[in-house]
Amino acid sequence: MDAELVIVADAEALAREAAQRIVGLAHEAVAARGLFSAALSGGSTPGALYRLLAKEPTRSQIPWAQVHLFWADERCVPPDDAGSNYWSAYQALIAHVPIPPENVHRVRGELAPEAAARAYEREMRRFFRGRRPDFDLVLLGLGSDGHTASLFPNSGSLAETERLAVATTADYSNRPAKRVTLTLPALNAARQILFLVSGLEKAEIVRAVFEDVEGRLPARRVRPAAGQLTWLVDATAAALVPNGLPLGPLTVIKKRL
């Protein structure tokens, strides 16, 4: 499969480029299927993007009534806790746009992890009517250990083949440890996966992911079966990506905007 690596100048350009792509994807999806389903990610990187989507001129360019929001992962905390991915997206985006509340399909982080994962899986199976969860967009971040969503290195959840969401535990950067994550089969059913990565502190791990031909790192195992894979990376985070990229099962098409 092909992956696109798009390198932009800085964090601001990253948010702008992602916002433009989301406007385009939302219109295409609504024209083709009548709705736009997107799974958001947590962490600090997408905050600027969420704020941009909530502001004019982007806000009016998105058909909010047809947008359905899900999450790639969630921390098991109440929905108004500072550690909640739903809460971060709510404050930066959802509170400011005319999305119908029933279109916001959050993970119920206030439940026990296994119950929250099961409830979220039921919600996805209901929404996708038993089809694979072919999200129009899954936004993902990259942890400095190579995790993405809440799929951490060496975690048993990487081996999941049936379930769409599982409970998991990980200590990372003083963030809540109990989590619910989409599994690889759920992520890899997406029509479009967009990684957003910014900052010098990610440069080593970005290089490691692109050199990881064997797929040891969770982020490298995200390979949509029929969809598009795009890495949107700012110049400092992409600084160590070698010029002659390794090929392996992934052909990387490098662009600089």
Binding region for ligand 6PG (CB under 6 A): 41-45, 72-73, 85, 141-143, 147-149, 175
Cβ count within 10 A of residue 123: 17
Q: Which is nearer to ligand 6PG, 45 or 103 (CB)?
A: 45
Distance CA 201, CA 236 (A): 8
Q: Which is nearer to ligand 6PG, 76 or 149 (CB)?
A: 149
What is the identity of the amino acid at 58?
T
Shortest Å distance, C-beta 150 to ligand 6PG: 6
Distance CA 139, CA 93 (A): 15
Q: Which is nearer to ligand 6PG, 43 or 224 (CB)?
A: 43
Shortest Å distance, C-beta 40 to ligand 6PG: 8
Q: Which is nearer to ligand 6PG, 20 or 44 (CB)?
A: 44
Shortest Å distance, C-beta 41 to ligand 6PG: 4
Shortest Å distance, C-beta 55 to ligand 6PG: 20
147-152 contacts: CB < 8 A, separation 24 or more? Answer: 147/172, 147/218, 147/219, 148/72, 148/195, 148/218, 148/219, 148/222, 149/41, 149/72, 149/73, 149/181, 149/182, 149/187, 150/73, 150/179, 150/180, 150/181, 151/181, 151/183, 151/184, 151/218, 151/221, 152/218
Q: Which is nearer to ligand 6PG, 2 or 204 (CB)?
A: 204
Q: What is the largest CA-CA distance in the chain?
A: 47
Output the six-digit token pair for 244.
């002659």
Distance CA 223, CA 145 (A): 18
Q: Which is nearer to ligand 6PG, 146 or 224 (CB)?
A: 146
Shortest Å distance, C-beta 148 to ligand 6PG: 5
Q: Which is nearer to ligand 6PG, 62 or 140 (CB)?
A: 140
Q: Which residue has the tokens 């894979």?
A: 229
Shortest Å distance, C-beta 57 to ligand 6PG: 25
Shortest Å distance, C-beta 78 to ligand 6PG: 15
Q: Which of 205, 175, 165, 224 is nearest to 2 (CA)?
A: 224
CA dihedral 224, 143, 41, 190 (to 10 degrees): 0
